[in-house]
Amino acid sequence: MSFDRITCDPKRLNGQPCVRDLRLTVRRVLEAMATYPDRDELRREYPELDDEDLRQVLGYAAASLDDKTLPLTLV
Architecture of domain 6-64: Orthogonal Bundle (1.10)
pTM of the entire predicted model: 0.82
Give, in order, the Cα–Cα distances in Å from 71 to each of 39, 65, 74. Answer: 39, 18, 10
Q: How far is CA 36 from the centre of its chain?
A: 14
> Residues 12-42: pLDDT tens digits?
999 999 999 999 999 999 999 999 989 999 9
What is residue 74's predicted lDDT score, i.e. its pLDDT? 81
Q: pLDDT band for position 65 (50/70/90)?
A: confident
